[in-house]
Structure formats: structure tokens, C-alpha cells
Amino acid sequence: MNQYEAALFNDKKFGFLIYLFVEAIMFLTLFATYLIFTPSSEGPHPSDVFETKSVILSSIFLLSSSGTLIMSERGLEGKQLKKLIPWLGVTLLFALVFLGLEISEFYTYVQEGYTLSTSSFLSSYYVLVGLHAAHVAFGCGWMIVLFIQLKRHIPHSLYIEKYKIFSYYWHFVDIVWIGILLVVYVRYIF
Amino acid sequence: MYIPFFEKHVPSDVIAAWVSVIIIGIVLATYVIKQNKWSVIWEYMRTTHHRKVGTLYMIFGFLFFLRAGVDALLIRSQLALPQNEFWLFQFQKYNEVFTTHGTMMIFFAATPMLLGLMNVAVPLQIGARDLAFPFLNAVGFWLFFAGGMLFNLAFFFDSAPAIGWTGYAPLSTSLFTPDVNSDYYVFGVQISGLGTIFTALNIIVTIFRHRAPGMKLMRMPLFTWASLITSFLILVAFTVLAIGLYLLMFDRMFDTKFFNGPDGDPIFWQHLFWIFGHPEVYILALPAFGLFSDIITTFSKKRIFGYPAMVISIGTIAFLAFTVWVHHMFTVGLGPLVNTVFALTTMAIAVPTGVKVFNWLFTMRGGVLRMTTPMLFSLGFIPSFVMGGVTGVMLSVSAADFQFHDSHFVVAHFHYVILASTILGIFAGIYYYFPKITGYQLNEKLGKWHFWLFLIGYHLTFFPMHITGMNGMPRRTFTYDVGEGLTATNFISTIGAFLMGIGVAVMFYNLFITIRKKERVGSDPWDGRTLEWTVASPAPEDSFQPMPIVKEMDPYWYAKQRGEDLETTDEKLASPISRDSIIPFIMANLLAVLSFGLMYGWIWLAVLAGAGVFMCFIIRAFRDEREQYYGKGEDGHESV
Ligand code: HEM
Ligand SMILES: [Cu+2]
């Protein structure tokens, strides 16, 4: 990356940081919503709803995907595709597993009669966790685009830029998940 | 009239609107075809340049301002006389009209016009060649456009929302307003709000990273300062609003239980709304303050008095803006302690505001005043705004607010503050920056007519409303009785409103003849002080080559004083990369189509449009405008 590109990259980094700040406020507002409405006087209590196993499993996959992404990032500088591609693949795989687990978790709850409109607790639960899951899904699409970008031989400095921005996004999504673990689940599971 | 497609009777105002839009459409189309202007339209649809995006913001903001202004005249016509039955604007129709008026004025007229002025002026004031992310800038504008158009569509399908600009729950939930009306509010405001957030982000990065060499933060013009701080307000406030609307959308579409039902909490909506709503008032006011500061210094031929105090007071106001939202909720029963705390924080805002007012006055003291149109608007602003501030302090006494609440006294108060700051500020800004935008200067004589008609009309409209309100007239009611002592004041208000309307018509005529005359002005028609007056009018697309070096505040002025040229450097700083693109236009409008599909339950349309939006993301990722500038070695940027 030459000086000129580095300066532009710094613009983008700064801009994206602000964007993540906006996202953080969004999630904070949703956390507040969840805290206000949980537990609700009507409908099920959170501890009746949540399933420990799927929460732990999905957390393991999502949180370790931040680690695998860092492994993959190591292959970025020297253009070591042998490092970059497989680890990015693992990250994508983990993300997809996480999504699968989330979907099956939601599916089970709904089967048990705990839907979006059952109570204000469940409303705020689905809206918050659902928005996070949507972020993971978006991230999966983004990773696929990153794979295709590799094939397209764009300037390597531009690729680094795109890749780094994605990695900020991905780590951010993981941090939000930690928040969800603490605020949404842990208090009612253990 | 009964029209099959609508499956209900269509009121005559809607028919009139359809007819006039079709006629105007035909006239415009013939004009475009005859004059062969397609290329211009196509150019503006694809542009990412800050001046052009700013111009688009101004044009559409102004268009929506006219629409909301017509609504205001309809409101005032209905209220002119007791038990009036003006056309069909009673009952539900009246609710629709004041909702449209308020929502449009705040979201689709005032905010975008200010963003437009920022777009035009901020890069030029700091010596930047464009906003940091030109593509994102276009996305921001088109999101505003798409949201505004969607909201306006409501009226044409006889589905205008009727929930007030505050969209209070539970009225806004599907329990009480199950039709699409309120959905237009939710989606229209949501989409344009997203655009506002992106533009704010862009402004912040631009100001922090693209200042000319030597332009320290404490040398920046005050409009730039105000834009910077406003942008931070936007980031927080509009994001909270976005989540509020998101929850409301879920309540309406998927029957969630946030704002109604046994556990739902309508007060939670009020909190979310006013955590946005109060700072929004400063989002409207601060940029106007900035403009007035620059204009007053220019036309007093003096440096701003107390520059650091001005900067600090903008920051303080912005901070306090987030501590006072409960003053809109004194009467919902949060208790005396909460009310007192928020009453005190509210009153505290008067201090930094007072500092600013005195600094403006001291700036003029001993200066060489020139009464140009922008200066007149700035001078008209000061006393008008102070009057609004006084009633604001009255309202902040929470015990007294139980009396004023939801009466026309409040309507008088907030029009005094918003109109005096924002609208007078925008008018001042339009006259001031018109040369930078178009290369022409507006006619001064007509400008003064515009000013006086508007200012007199403004006081005539809103001053009596204080009295009307204290005499017991509630806000948001379409009529009053004969013996209530409200007739005279209401009638005067209506006359005032039409005077303002005439003032705006004069401005229109002014725009028309100025653009037709095509008399070019030079780069510095006002004898300005800051960097924007060093580049040609209209501002060219590759401004600031070579870069000016800034060594003090108001650098251009002092250079002129010394009879020198501004020092420049050939140093190449990385500058924003822009490339015309139609994607922002398509993406934003597809988002409106997506909302439309969701609102009417046409899932196929929503899915198609949603897929289209994602396609736009992907196409853009593969056609990144940076691609051609990267990987070319140290001077790659010079190869184009
Ligand atoms: C140009 C002349 C204007 C006139 C004659 C006018 C008149 C009015 C009147 C009579 C109402 C009260 C409706 C009612 O409560 O029954 C009203 C409401 C309102 N106006 Fe204006 N207005 C004007 C400009 C503006 C501007 C420039 C803004 C903001 C930038 C604005 C924002 C609002 C808002 C937010 C409401 C409250 C709507 C609601 O209650 O939902 N108005 N206006
Ligand atoms: Cu307020």
C-alpha cells in the first residue's frame, strides 16, 4: 500500500468506524428494549424458553470464527493465498453453522408456541437476536464476495482494504454476540 | 367521485392533485424534450459531485417545502373562521394535513435543505475537493429522495398518515390505524433517515481528514463547525429514531407487542421518539447558527466576536440537547422529580444560546454593515429567535407546562424557534450561496421584498397563536366555537400565513428571472472571507488545484487586506475519488419499492426489490471506483 492508498484507506477506516458506532447505538437501543420488556408479566419466562445446548454450541462457532478470521488475515500481507483461502473458508463455514443453529433454535421455540407475538419479552428477543443473525447472514454474503474478488485480480492494496473492512465488521458482529450472551441468555440460563 | 381502482370515494383534493401533477408532468416533459435536457437529467441522476448532490438536495427539499407550505395554508384556511368548513379539510382530513405538514417540514424540507447547504459549502470552506465518500453521498441523497417520494405518494392514494409528526403509539400501531396510512410514515421516514445518517458520517470524515494544509480545527469557519457537531447529533438521534421506527414496523406488520397490548408501553415510543426529536431541533438550528455567524461576519467586515466561545457553545448546546427530551413528556406522569431535573437541564440551554446571541451582536458592533439579503435574513433571525427562546423557558417550567401543553401556545413556540433559525437560515444560505451553486446572483431588490413579506407574515402568523393558545385553543383540532374569543387571533394568523406564501412566491419569481437572465458573477460576489470565495462560481469539479495554505482564520479576507494572493502548494494530498454512477439512484428507489411491497403485502414485489438492492451492493463491490487508482505505485493517482 503506498502513501496515497494508505491515506484513502484511513478515510475508509474512519468512516467505517463511525458506521460501527451507529450500529452500536442501534444494538444498545435494542438491548435497552430487551431489558425493559424482560421478563414480561404475561407469557413464558425466559428460563422456560431458552435452550442451553444450542446457545453454547452457536456461541462456540461464532466466537471461534473471529479467531479463524485472524488466522486468515495473516495470509493477507504477503499474499499467501494458501493461508488466506482455507481459513476464510473455515470462517464462512462456522458462520453458516451458526446461522443453521440459530434457525433451528428459532424453529424449536416457535414449535413450542413461543412466537414473535406471544409476549413483549419474546418480541424484543426475536427483534434483537434476529437483527444480529441478519448481520451474520450479510457477513456470509460479504465473504463470498471476498472470495470472488480474489479471482478477479484487483489491485492487491484494494483487496487488503476490502478485506480489512470486512474483518472489522466481523469482529464487531462477534462483540455484539457477546453482549447478547450476557444480556439475553446468561442471566436466565445459568 | 368514485374511482374503480381505489374502491372507495376519492376526495376532490386528491383528484385535483392528480390532475395538476399530470399537467405539470406533461409541461415538464415537453420542456425537457423541446430543450433537449435529457443529458442534464441523466447527468444529475448519476452525479456524485458534492455541489451537484447539494443542488439536488436543495431542489427536492424546496419542492417538499412548497408542498408542506401548501398544507400549512390549507390548515390556516380551515382555521381562519370558527366552525369553518373550508373545502373538505375537516375531521380526519385535517389530521392528515397537519401530519403531512409537520412530517414533511421536519424530515423532507428543513433537514435536507440544510444537508444540501452543507454539501455545497463545507468542502469549499475547508479546501477539500469533495466529500470523503462521493458515492456514499449520492446514496445518502437518493435515500432521502426515495423516502420523500414514498411519503408523498400516500396522499395520491388517499392514504396520508394521520398520526401527527410524532407518530405517537398506540395510535400509530395497527390496533388503531390498521390501514397503510401509517406505514407510509414509518417507511418514508425510515428510508430518508438512513440517508441522513450516511451524509452525516460523510461530513464528519470530510472535515476531519480533508482540510487544506494549515486549516486547523480552530481556524475553521463556523458553518463547518456547526456542520461537524450537527453530524454527530444526527448519528445518535437518527439512529435511535431508526430503531423506534423499526420496532413500530414490527408492531404493525408482525403483531409484536412493543407499544400496545397488556405489556406494551406507549411511553417507550415517546422516549425513543423524543431522544431523537429534541436533538432534531438542534440538528435544524445549529447549521443555521453557523450560517448566520459566517454571514454576519462577512457583512460586518469584522472577525467573529469570541470565536472560541462560539465553538464551545455549539458543543455545549449539542451535549445538552440529549439531556432534555423529557420536557416533551412533562404531562405523561413521570413524577415531579424527573420533571424537575429535565426542567433544569432545559433551562440550562438558554446559557450557551445567549452567549451566541451576544457574540453576534458584538460582531456587528462597530462593524461596517452591508444590508444585503442574506444579512437581512440573519438580522431578522436574532430577535425572532430570542422571542421563541423566551417562550421556551416558559414551557420548561414543568408546572406551567401542564397549562401550555398541546395548546397553540406550543405551536407558536416551536414555529418561532424552528422557523426563525432553520427557515430564515436556509433562505439566507440560498441567497448567500446561490452564486457558488449556479454562478448567478439573485436579485437583491426582490430578495428584500421576499424578506420583508416573509418576516412580517411570520410574526403575524405566529405571534397571535400565543394568545390563541392561552385562551384555550388546543393544537391539532380543526375548529373552534364562535363565542370562545379565538376568532380575531385566528383570522390574523391566517392572513400572516398567506403573506408568507406571497413572500415565497416572490422568491420563486426571483429564482426564475435570475436563472433566465444568465448574468454570471465572479468568484467573490460578496467580498467574502473564507476559502469558498476563492474558487470559481459555480464551484468547479476540480477545485483547489493547487491547494491553498491556511495560516489564520478567514484566510482569504486577510490575504485580500494585505493585497496578496493566498499562498498555495503543489503538494498532493489523497483526495476523494468520484465516478458517476447510476447505482445509488437505483438502489435507493428499489428500497422504496421494497417498502411499497411490504406495505401492501405484495411479497413478490418486496422480494424482487430486495434482491435488486443486494444486486446493487454486489455490482458496486465489483465496480469499485477505487479500482483504477490503486496499485499504480506512488503516483498512481496522477495517471487519470
Ligand atoms: C410556513 C409557514 C407555516 C405555517 C403557516 C404553519 C402553520 C402550522 C399550524 C397552524 C400548525 C398547527 C396544526 C395543528 O396543531 O392543528 C402547524 C403544525 C406544525 N408545524 Fe407548521 N407552519 C409553517 C411552517 C413550519 C415549518 C417551517 C416547520 C418546521 C421546519 C413546521 C413544523 C410544524 C410541526 C412539526 C407541526 C406539528 C404537527 C403536528 O402536530 O403533528 N411548520 N404548522
Ligand atoms: Cu425539546
- Does A127 sit within 8 Å of B235, measured CB to CB? no
- Does A117 sit within 8 Å of B256, measured CB to CB? yes
Kindly state if the Cβ of B422 falls inside 6 Å of ligand 1: yes
Kindly state if the Cβ of B475 falls inside 6 Å of ligand 1: yes
- Does B262 sit within 8 Å of A11, measured CB to CB? no
Give the closest of A26, A155, A158 to B242, CB-based: A26
Q: Hey, whose CA ends up nearest to atom 33 of ligand 1?
A: B102
Instruction: Give chain B positions within 8 Å (CB) of A33.
Output: 243, 247, 258, 268
Give the closest of A7, A25, A33 to B574, CB-based: A7
Most ligand 1 atoms within 8 A of CB, residue of B415, B495, B504 to mutate: B415
pLDDT over 70 percentage in chain B: 98
Taking the centre of ligand 2 as the mean of its atom positions, its distance from the CA of residue B323, in whole angstroms, is 10
Kindly state if the Cβ of B465 falls inside 6 Å of ligand 1: no
Give the pLDDT confidence of A75-134 residue by residue, as tens digits: 888 888 888 999 999 999 999 999 999 999 999 999 999 999 889 999 999 999 999 999
pLDDT above 80 (res A1): no
Instruction: Give chain A positions within 8 Å (CB) of B574.
Output: 3-5, 7-8, 11
Give the pLDDT confidence of B494-543 residue by residue, as tens digits: 999 999 999 999 999 999 999 999 899 999 999 999 999 999 989 998 88
Instruction: Give chain B positions within 8 Å (CB) of A26.
Output: 239, 242-243
Q: Which atom of ligand 1 is nearest to the CA of B65?
A: 27
pLDDT at residue B633 in the model: 63
Distance CA B323, CA B330 (A): 14
- Hey, which residues does B563 pair with through a beta bridge? none
pLDDT at residue B191 in the model: 96
A155: preceding bond cis by omega (within 30 degrees): no
Indicate the average pLDDT of chain B. 92
Q: Which atom of ligand 1 is nearest to the CA of B99?
A: 41
Ligand number nearest CA of B281 is 2
pLDDT at residue B636 in the model: 47
Which cell is B177 given? 390505524
Give the pLDDT confidence of B161-220 residue by residue, as tens digits: 999 999 998 899 999 999 999 999 999 999 999 999 999 999 999 999 999 999 999 999
Residue B638's pLDDT band, with cuts at 50, 70 and 90, is very low
Instruction: Give chain B positions within 8 Å (CB) of A42.
Output: 262-263
pLDDT above 80 (res B266): yes
Helix (H) or strand (E) holding B540: none
Helix and strand totals (H; E) in chain A: 7, 0
Distance CA B208, CA B227 (A): 12
pLDDT at residue B261 in the model: 77
What pairing do the DSSP bridges indicate for beta strands B568-569 and B8-9? Answer: unpaired
- Does A155 sit within 8 Å of B256, measured CB to CB? no
Taking the centre of ligand 2 as the mean of its atom positions, its distance from the CA of residue B53, in whole angstroms, is 31
Taking the centre of ligand 2 as the mean of its atom positions, its distance from the CA of residue B316, in whole angstroms, is 15
Closest CA to B624 of A79, A14, A155, A139: A155
- Does B624 sit within 8 Å of A14, measured CB to CB? no
Q: Which atom of ligand 1 is nearest to the CA of B419?
A: 27
Which cell is A157 given? 492494496
Kindly state if the Cβ of B72 falls inside 6 Å of ligand 1: yes
Q: Which of B133, B137, B235, B263 should one mutate to test binding to chain A, selecting the residue with the greatest count of A CBs within 10 A?
A: B263
Main-chain phi, psi angles of B568, to 5 degrees: -130, 165
Instruction: Determine the residue type at B185.
Output: Y
pLDDT at residue B2 in the model: 58
Most ligand 1 atoms within 8 A of CB, residue of B67, B98, B466 to mutate: B98
- Does A33 sit within 8 Å of B258, measured CB to CB? yes
Q: Which atom of ligand 1 is nearest to the CA of B504?
A: 1
Q: Hey, whose CA ends up nearest to atom 27 of ligand 1?
A: B419
Q: Nearest CA to CA, how far is B531 from chain A (Å)?
A: 23
Q: Which residue of A has its CA nearest to B571?
A: A4
- Does B624 sit within 8 Å of A117, measured CB to CB? no
Q: Which residue of B has its CA nearest to A126?
A: B256
Mean per-residue pLDDT, B279-293:
95
Kindly state if the Cβ of B411 falls inside 6 Å of ligand 1: yes
Give the pLDDT confidence of B55-89 residue by residue, as tens digits: 999 999 999 999 999 999 999 999 999 999 888 88
Q: Hey, whose CA ends up nearest to atom 14 of ligand 1?
A: B476
Distance CA B87, CA B66 (A): 20
pLDDT above 70 (res B425): yes
Name every residue whose Cβ is closer than 8 Å to that of residue B463 and which is 6 or more positions away in sequence: B412
SS3 content of chain B, % helix, strand, coil (to 5): 70, 0, 25
pLDDT at residue A189 in the model: 83
Q: Hey, whose CA ends up nearest to atom 16 of ligand 1?
A: B476
CB pairs under 8 A between A and B: 131
Q: Which of A13, A22, A31, A157 should one mutate to test binding to chain B, selecting the residue with the greatest count of B CBs within 10 A?
A: A22
pLDDT at residue B240 in the model: 97
The model carries a pTM of: 0.95
Instruction: Give chain B positions within 8 Å (CB) of A2.
Output: 633-634, 636
pLDDT at residue B601 in the model: 92
- Does A37 sit within 8 Å of B630, measured CB to CB? no
Give the closest of A15, A43, A121 to B133, CB-based: A15
Taking the centre of ligand 1 as the mean of its atom positions, its distance from the CA of residue B19, in whole angstroms, is 26
Taking the centre of ligand 2 as the mean of its atom positions, its distance from the CA of residue B275, in whole angstroms, is 9
Give the closest of B239, B631, B634 to A22, CB-based: B239
Mean per-residue pLDDT, A49-61:
92
Residue B640's pLDDT band, with cuts at 50, 70 and 90, is very low
DSSP B217: G
If 0-12 CB within 10 Å is exposed, 13-18 middle and 19+ buried, where does residue B616 land?
Answer: buried
- Does B255 sit within 8 Å of A117, measured CB to CB? yes
Give the pLDDT confidence of B291-324 residue by residue, as tens digits: 999 999 999 999 999 999 999 999 999 999 999 9
Q: DSSP labels for B232-261? A: HHHHHHHHHHHHHHHHHHHHHHH---SSST
Q: Hey, whose CA ends up nearest to atom 20 of ligand 1?
A: B102
If 0-12 CB within 10 Å is exposed, 13-18 middle and 19+ buried, where does residue B302 land?
Answer: buried
CB-CB contact of B137 with B580 (8 Å)? no
Contacts 24+ apart (CB under 8 A), B83-89: B83/B479, B83/B480, B83/B481, B83/B482, B84/B479, B87/B12, B87/B13, B88/B11, B88/B12, B88/B13, B89/B13, B89/B478
Q: Which atom of ligand 1 is nearest to the CA of B477?
A: 16
- Does B240 sit within 8 Å of A141, measured CB to CB? no
- Does A4 sit within 8 Å of B637, measured CB to CB? yes
Q: How far is Cα of residue B442 from the mean position of the Cα atoms in its chain? A: 22
Instruction: Give chain B positions within 8 Å (CB) of A130.
Output: none
pLDDT over 90 percentage in chain B: 83
- Does B262 sit within 8 Å of A42, measured CB to CB? yes
Give the closest of A37, A116, A155 to B263, CB-based: A37
